[in-house]
Amino acid sequence: MRDAAIAKHRARRDANTGKALAGQRSAVRKAPARQAARKALRRSAARFQGRRILAALLSLPLGLLGCLTSPLGRKLGLPWLIHPGRRLYRRITGAARDQRAARDAAIREDLADAEDAADKQAAANDNAEEIVDWAERPDHLTPVPEAPVSVEDRMSEFLPGQSGFRFEEVAEEMYQAAGSYDPEGCMEILSMVIGLPWALMAVANTFQKLAERSDSEFPLEKEVAEGFTGVFQALMKAVEEAEELVPTFKRVHEQDIARHEDPRNGPEAEKGWNV
């Protein structure tokens, strides 16, 4: 029963993930065509606005002349003398508006054709099994290891000889340094605590940079960038906790810190308490 329920949940989750991935891949495939269409629509709008400005410039002299001819046209019953500038402006802008509508319709039609061609190409690639985006589930659930894995064993799992960005090496050095850390005094620990938020902020910014580059530069799916973003957000919460640790440290050790910052009769005299 438990295996069946978990398998059902996995199938539903995989179906939802597949739909989300299909939508994102479709957006990626259609992005160049949509970007070109947006540029074409912006050029069409700019051309229309240019025609409106030209119509205003051409209609201005006739509009000024219409101040004299409009009363005369009303008196003589000649409509073509009434508001000549306004009628010219409406005629030019009306023609420009119709031309823009025709251009925009053609652009959207070309976009629909390009998107349809991209979908057909993707379907052909899927039929040819050029991209395999699924993996078989095991017949049975994978048992959870009974004993937790130590940090040393976890570090040894990374393949040797890897080049590039080795974040685990820096993390291992920090872990080893924490194990062998022997401060000369508690004021040194206070200094370390004060710098801890900045250190965690640097680590968080590292994953933020990885998220940005995974989304814009690396050939990775969006879920990977979202995963890096999740790590960044979790580390930012750790930064907040580290910032709260500083006033806590100073509050609970206020008297101890005061003996070091403002010793009575000098540091040597303060040692007389032997605490």
What does each of the 275 residues of the chain score in pLDDT, given as a tens digit?
666 767 777 777 777 776 776 677 777 777 788 888 888 989 999 989 888 898 888 888 888 888 888 888 888 888 877 888 888 888 898 999 999 999 999 999 988 888 888 878 777 766 554 444 444 555 555 555 555 555 455 545 544 555 556 667 777 777 787 788 787 777 788 888 888 888 888 888 888 888 888 777 777 787 887 888 888 888 888 888 888 888 888 888 888 777 776 666 666 655 555 54
pLDDT at position 132 is: 44
Angle formed by the axes of helices 254-261 and 222-252, nearest 10°: 70
Residue carrying structure tokens 């050790």: 253
The Cα–Cα gap between 221 and 12 comes to: 20
Q: Is the sign of the CA dihedral 42, 43, 44, 45 positive or negative?
A: positive
pLDDT for 98 equals: 93
Under DSSP, the state recorded for 271 is: G
Contact in structure between 74 and 66 (CB atoms under 8 Å) = no
Distance (Å, whole) CA 205 – CA 226: 15
Q: 78: Cβ–Cβ under 8 A, 6 or more apart, which residues? A: 72
- Residue 104 pLDDT: 92
Q: pTM for the full model?
A: 0.39
pLDDT at res. 270: 56
| pLDDT at residue 105, as a whole number | 92
**pLDDT (0 to 100) of residue 101:** 92
Residue type, 76: L
Cα-based distances in Å from 206 to 90, 167, 229, 233? 58, 10, 10, 12
- Residue 64 main-chain phi, psi, to 5 deg: -65, -40
Q: How many CB atoms lie within 10 A of CB 214?
A: 21
Report pLDDT for 146: 53
